[in-house]
Amino acid sequence: MNWRRALQRSLEDPATALETSLALARGRYYLIKFRLLGRRVRAGRFFRVRGPLDIRGPGTVIFGDHCSVVSSRLSPTTPYTHKADAVIRFGNRVALSGTRLGCERSIEVGDDAGLADARIMDTDFHSIEISDEPRENTRGRCKPIVIGPKVWVGAGAMILKGVTIGESAVVSAGAVVASAVPPRSVVLGNPARVIWRIGDVHYPLGAAAAKTDGAQPPASCP
């Protein structure tokens, strides 16, 4: 870190510097709190928290360097593990905003990813098979989730078990992702489907997509 540049920025914008300092202090507070509670939580350098962070379960939660959490009381960030060998691992510079995670095996998030108030679960929690047991007493299937670097997951999206999301992909708000997402693509809907490739000139679905959505394909994609 360039301390001279950081000092200069602090002098130029003291309000932002104070906010960042408070977020760093809050990040340290949460790490100490969770360790005292016996939670298996680790974080790299410059871990920042604004708002509620709730980590529960017997597994391990790991934050890389320069990770940030921004939450509210109505939308807290909740990385929960449900088995002792479960691992939730965030890479460097990952930003979470009210993200809720449920993990029995493994959830991996790559560097520079941004996760809004989405739901990410590597298990069904309850079996879909018919049995004599109440549904709450059954166990679902579990498969690891991998979210690649620079992925953006929008608000209200759901990432289900076994999903791999490729680098720089975008999961639109409200999408339900149950299968692999190619790199540099945008997915939308329930179930989520690719609506365009980032950098392409036209929607790959062409006129069919326009008729389905009731809109014309744009001349270029964002």
Task: Note the pLDDT tens digit of each residue in 45-101.
Answer: 999 999 999 999 999 999 999 999 999 989 999 999 999 999 999 999 999 999 999
The question of whether 126 is a catalytic residue gets the answer yes
| Spatial separation of the C-alpha atoms in residues 166 and 221, rounded to whole Å | 18
From the candidates 66, 82, 126, 202, give the one annotated as an active-site residue.
126
| Spatial separation of the C-alpha atoms in residues 61 and 75, rounded to whole Å | 19
| Spatial separation of the C-alpha atoms in residues 161 and 179, rounded to whole Å | 9
158 bridge partner residues: 119, 176
Question: pLDDT 10s digit of each residue in the chain, 222 long?
Answer: 554 554 455 555 567 677 888 999 999 999 999 999 999 999 999 999 999 999 999 999 999 999 999 999 899 999 999 999 999 999 999 999 999 999 999 999 999 999 999 999 999 877 777 777 776 766 778 899 999 999 999 999 999 999 999 999 999 999 999 999 999 999 999 999 999 998 765 545 443 344 434 434 444 433
Q: Where in the chain is the domain with CATH 2.160.10.10?
A: 3-190
- Is 3-190 CATH 2.160.10.10? yes
Tokens of 105: 């095996």
Is this structure's pTM higher than 0.85? no
Give the phi and the psi of residue 37 in degrees, each rounded to 5.
-85, 0
Amino acid at 194: V
| Spatial separation of the C-alpha atoms in residues 142 and 95, rounded to whole Å | 25
- Under DSSP, the state recorded for 19 is H
Q: In the prediction, which pLDDT does 217 show?
A: 41
